[in-house]
Amino acid sequence: MDNLESIQKHIRNYIMVFGALAILTVITVGASYLQVGVVSAIVIAVIIATIKGSLVASIFMHLLSEKKFVYILLGVTALLFLVLMFVTLFTVNDQVGIHVS
């Protein structure tokens, strides 16, 4: 990625990603005005945010062409993130005598 031409190609990509992020922001705000249930609203918002996040990570942070170590590290971190999030959630919701009113 050191020659001038490929950098210029990258710059075009960056501008396009910016456009995509702006459009997705408008979409996610618009979607929030739709009268859908809480669950589908959460699913829609999280999907859009994930798409935006992956764009930033893969293009701006160059994760599309990164070295092996970074992938391993981020893989482990992502796994532990999910563990922290969901195993905790499952455990708290698996309580003896829990009351949901």
Partner 1 sequence: MTEINRESIWTKYIFSQDHKVIGLQYAFTALFFLLFGFALMMIMRWQLAYPGKPIPANGFIWVIALLGVVITLIGLFRSKKNVITLSGIIFLFMAWIIIYLTSGEGRMPEGIMIPDFYNSLGAMHGTIMIFLGVVPLLVGGLGNYVLPLQIGAPDMAFPKINMVSYWSYFLGGITMLVSFFVPGGAANSGWTSYPPLSDLATTGQTVWLFGMVLLITSSLLGSINFITTVIQLRTKGLTWMRLPFFVWAQFVTAFLLLLAFPPLEAAGVLQLMDRLVGTSFFLPSGLYVGTGPLPVSGGGSPLLWQHLFWFLAHPEVYVLILPAMGIVAEIIANNTRKPLWGYRSMVFATIFLGFMSFIVWAHHMFMTGMGTTMTAFFQTTTMIISIPSVIILSAFFISLWGGSIRFNTPMLFALGFLPMFGIGGLTGLPLGLASSDIHLHDTYYVIGHFHYVVAPGTIFALFAGIYYWFPKVTGKMMDELLGKIHFWGSMIFINGIFLPMFIQGLAGISRRLYDGGESYLHAQDVLFWNEVMSYSAWGLGLMQTVFIINFALSLRNGKDAGSNPWKATTLEWSAASSPPIAHGNFDNVPEVYRPAYEYSVPEASTDFIPQNQKEVK
Partner 2 sequence: MQIPYTVEPRPDTGLHNAKIGIWLFLASEVMLFGGLFSAYVLLRTGSIVWPEGSSILSVPIGTFNTMALIASSVTMVLSWAALKMNDLSKFKMYMFFTYFLGLVFLIVKVVFEYLPKFEHHLYPSESTFLAIYFTLTGLHALHVLVGVIVNIYFWGPGSKMWETEPERFTNRVEVAGLYWHFVDLVWIFLFPVLYLL
Rounded to 5°, the CA angle 37-42-48 comes to 125
Quote the least distance from Cβ 31 to partner 2, whole Å.
8
Asked if 7 is part of the footprint of partner 2 (rule: CB under 8 A), the reply reads yes
Cβ neighbour number for residue 52 with a 10 Å cutoff = 19
Phi, psi dihedral angles at 77 (to 5 degrees): -65, -45
Instruction: Single out the residue of 82, 22, 80, 79 nearest to residue 56, CA to CA.
Output: 22
Closest approach, Cβ 12 to partner 2, in A, equals 11
Determine the Cα–Cα distance for residues 87 and 13; give it in Å rounded to an integer: 38
Regarding 101 and contact with partner 1 (CB under 8 A), the answer is no
Task: Point out which residues bind partner 2 (CB under 8 A).
Answer: 1-2, 4, 7, 10-11, 14-15, 17-18, 21-22, 25-26, 28-29, 32, 38, 41-42, 45-46, 48-49, 52-53, 56-57, 60-61, 67-70, 73-74, 76-78, 80-81, 84-85, 88-89, 92-93, 101
